[in-house]
Structure 1
């Protein structure tokens, strides 16, 4: 984090000249000095001895500590409180996109690009974590993702696996980001906006350099470009690697999760369009379809970009968007939500139980991608879904206790647990009305949802640490 802040301090001086370099330089130098002391003390440690338990603790603490450290320039430049600064920083690093800030168009360009880059950096961290760590632990049924992981697999120690996997994912992630920036620029964005929004599109983060988000550009071509790269950000990066290596885009359609994901996106986009036309929100079907597809993709991929005044849409349309946010994108991507793979396993589990009721003596086997699915995967998936629902209920009640009404509380919790960003009602513009207590509740919700629930909670269980 210190190195990142020093880079942006240099950009403020050499490129943007917006006189905010001290807000980056001072904390950056301090962090690097502290990091050097830790490195000097522990540089001879054998990192290959780090196990799964240590990795979970490290992952959880990384998001927490980075959220606090990343908040320092935000607090110094905008003058927000410590609570709001940490909320904004955690929202960026977890790729949530919820914000307490307004008047973005008048803020320094260095600062705005810093927010965007934090989301891009957090997105890469998420990809490495969910592709290299969660499959080994079967957290919420993610063992199935193990077969889709690029690079060599080594089960005894985690570090070599992460190092090899990260190498491949870096290449894919950077390549898609560069292609996204180029596409935005060709579609009509300025070079600055194209780079800034490529960071938050590929990471499915949703921060923008403008208060009006993508609506600022008034271009359906830009929305179409955004649709494509939000979808790419929500598809497994391990699968992207396979496609790049095979040079065959039809590999996407051979993957059951990706195929189901794209069908859900198409079906719900059409349903949302019909809802809006019936409610007379639009009179032009093509405009309605464009805005419907954009916002549906934005929510289901947990990006959170906005274009039209979707916060003023009928409640049934808003509820559909919230539902899409819970569905989420594909496992192994930067998207949040429950993940399509878990939804598939849940539906197949229900179907299997119905078959057993009709045919008590029948023998049925659940398959995913042509492979049998074990009971450990189905039980882990069921536990994850139950915990997601329970967390929503408990955190919504906690937020209501701070004074927010139900719809604002529910959509705010849904936005943070699913690392989505936008909420409705009182929080339709931003999260500034949330109290300090509520902001800490939502900050916890963002980390909880980003780390797939059990990953964070497991470190508090004594028996988890027993050998």
Structure 2
């Protein structure tokens, strides 16, 4: 974080000339000093193997500490409170995209790009996290990623797995980011906006350099570039790697999770289109479909971009978008939500139980990608879904206790747990109306949802700390 902020201090001085170099240096230099001291005083830490327990602690503390440190320039440059600055920083690093800031168009450019880059940095960390740590936890279908992750897998040791996986996934991440920036530039954005929005699109973060988000550009070409790369950011990066290696787009369709994900996006987009036409929001079917498709993709991929005033759309559409945020993207991607692999397994489990009721003596096997699944994977899926529902109810009640309406509290919790960003009700513009206590609750919710519940909650169990 010290290096990142030092780079933006130099960019502020040499490139943007926007007068915020000192604000970045104020936090950057002490961080670098502490980091150098820690590395020089501990020479034996590289010799210790990293186990699962260490990995969970490191994963949670990385997002917590990075969120706190990343907040310092936000507080110095914008003048917001430490609570709001932490919320903004955590929102960026978890690729949530919820914000307490306004007047973005007048903010210093180095600061705006810093927000965008934090999302890109957090998205890369998420990709490595979900393919290296979550499969070891068997959190409801995520263990299936082990067989899909690129790179050599000889055993369950974590360190070699991270090294091999990170190498391949970093290449995919860089390729998508570069091509996205080129696409935005060709669609009409200037270089600054193209690069900044590529950071938040591929990471499915949703921050923008403008208050009006993607709607600022009033360009159909920009919308469809965003659609494409939001979808690519929400599809497993392991699938991207296989498609690039095999040079075949058929791999996306052959992957069951990707196929169901894309078909669901199309179906719900058509459903929203019909409702927008029925309500008279749009009169031309193509305009309605274009806006429905964009916002459906934005919510289901947990990106959170906006191109219209969707907070005033019919209640049916608003609730559909919130539910879409819970569906999420694919496993092994930067998207949030439940992940489609869990949605698929849950529906298959329901169908299986119905078959058992109708045929009590029948023997049925649940398969995914043509392979039968272990009972532990299925039970973890149901446990995960129950945990999502419980967390939503509890956190919504807590936020309602701070004074928010039911719809505002529910949409805010959904936005943070699913690392989605936009909310409805009194929070339709930004999260400024939330109290300090509510802001800390939502910051916790973002980390809880980003690390997929079990990773965080496990640390609160006494048995976890027993050696």
Please report the TM-score for the alignment, with normalisation by the length of structure 1: 0.99
Comparing 155-164 with 438-447, which one deviates more in the overlay? 155-164
Deviation at 1:462, TM superposition (A): 1.9
Q: 1:60 aligns to what?
A: 60
Q: 1:338 aligns to what?
A: 338
Instruction: State how far apart, in whole Å, the 2-side matches of 1:48 and 1:262 are.
Output: 43
Q: 2:380 aligns to what?
A: 380
Is 2:432 aligned against 1:432?
Answer: yes
Q: 2:243 aligns to what?
A: 243
Q: 2:296 aligns to what?
A: 296
Instruction: State how far apart, in whole Å, the 2-side matches of 1:153 and 1:169 are.
Output: 15
Instruction: State how far apart, in whole Å, the 2-side matches of 1:43 and 1:274 are.
Output: 63
Q: 2:24 aligns to what?
A: 24
Alignment coverage as a number of residue pairs? 467
On the 8 A contact 1:48/1:159 being kept in 2, the answer is no
Is 2:70 aligned against 1:70?
Answer: yes
Instruction: State how far apart, in whole Å, the 2-side matches of 1:455 and 1:294 are.
Output: 32
Instruction: State how far apart, in whole Å, the 2-side matches of 1:12 and 1:228 are.
Output: 32
Instruction: State how far apart, in whole Å, the 2-side matches of 1:154 and 1:123 are.
Output: 27
Instruction: State how far apart, in whole Å, the 2-side matches of 1:314 and 1:218 are.
Output: 22
CA distances 1:118-160 after superposition (whole Å, capped 9, x unpaired) = 0000000000000111112212331111111010114342111
Instruction: State how far apart, in whole Å, the 1-side matches of 2:111 and 2:96 are.
Output: 18
On the 8 A contact 1:87/1:443 being kept in 2, the answer is yes
CA distances 1:386-418 after superposition (whole Å, capped 9, x unpaired) = 000000000000000001110000000000000
Q: 2:127 aligns to what?
A: 127
Instruction: State how far apart, in whole Å, the 2-side matches of 1:392 and 1:156 are.
Output: 33
Instruction: State how far apart, in whole Å, the 2-side matches of 1:156 and 1:280 are.
Output: 56
Where do residues 385-404 of structure 1 align in structure 2 (5 Å cutoff)? 385-404=385-404
Where do residues 258-269 of structure 1 align in structure 2 (5 Å cutoff)? 258-269=258-269
CA distances 1:430-452 after superposition (whole Å, capped 9, x unpaired) = 00000000000000000000000
Where do residues 310-459 of structure 1 align in structure 2 (5 Å cutoff)? 310-459=310-459
Comparing 317-326 with 157-166, which one deviates more in the overlay? 157-166
Deviation at 1:271, TM superposition (A): 0.3
Q: 2:83 aligns to what?
A: 83
SS of residue matched to 1:102: coil
Deviation at 1:337, TM superposition (A): 0.3
Instruction: State how far apart, in whole Å, the 2-side matches of 1:372 and 1:43 are.
Output: 47
In structure 2, runs of 5+ residues without a counterpart are none
Q: 1:216 aligns to what?
A: 216
SS of residue matched to 1:12: helix
Instruction: State how far apart, in whole Å, the 1-side matches of 2:374 and 2:302 are.
Output: 29
Instruction: State how far apart, in whole Å, the 1-side matches of 2:91 and 2:394 are.
Output: 20
Instruction: State how far apart, in whole Å, the 2-side matches of 1:352 and 1:374 are.
Output: 14
Q: 1:194 aligns to what?
A: 194
Instruction: State how far apart, in whole Å, the 2-side matches of 1:397 and 1:460 are.
Output: 21
SS of residue matched to 1:49: coil
Q: 1:176 aligns to what?
A: 176
Instruction: State how far apart, in whole Å, the 2-side matches of 1:47 and 1:278 are.
Output: 65
Deviation at 1:49, TM superposition (A): 1.2
In structure 1, runs of 5+ residues without a counterpart are none
Please report the TM-score for the alignment, with normalisation by the length of structure 2: 0.99
Q: 2:155 aligns to what?
A: 155
Instruction: State how far apart, in whole Å, the 1-side matches of 2:156 and 2:413 are.
Output: 37
Instruction: State how far apart, in whole Å, the 2-side matches of 1:373 and 1:42 are.
Output: 44
Deviation at 1:48, TM superposition (A): 5.0
Is 2:15 aligned against 1:15?
Answer: yes
Instruction: Report the RMSD for the aligned CA atoms in angstroms.
Output: 0.9
SS of residue matched to 2:45: coil
Deviation at 1:55, TM superposition (A): 0.2
Q: 1:105 aligns to what?
A: 105
On the 8 A contact 1:140/1:454 being kept in 2, the answer is no
Q: 1:205 aligns to what?
A: 205
Instruction: State how far apart, in whole Å, the 1-side matches of 2:140 and 2:66 are.
Output: 25
Deviation at 1:47, TM superposition (A): 4.9
Instruction: State how far apart, in whole Å, the 2-side matches of 1:461 and 1:404 are.
Output: 31
Instruction: State how far apart, in whole Å, the 1-side matches of 2:289 and 2:106 are.
Output: 32
Instruction: State how far apart, in whole Å, the 1-side matches of 2:160 and 2:289 are.
Output: 46
Q: 2:141 aligns to what?
A: 141
Instruction: State how far apart, in whole Å, the 2-side matches of 1:45 and 1:167 are.
Output: 22
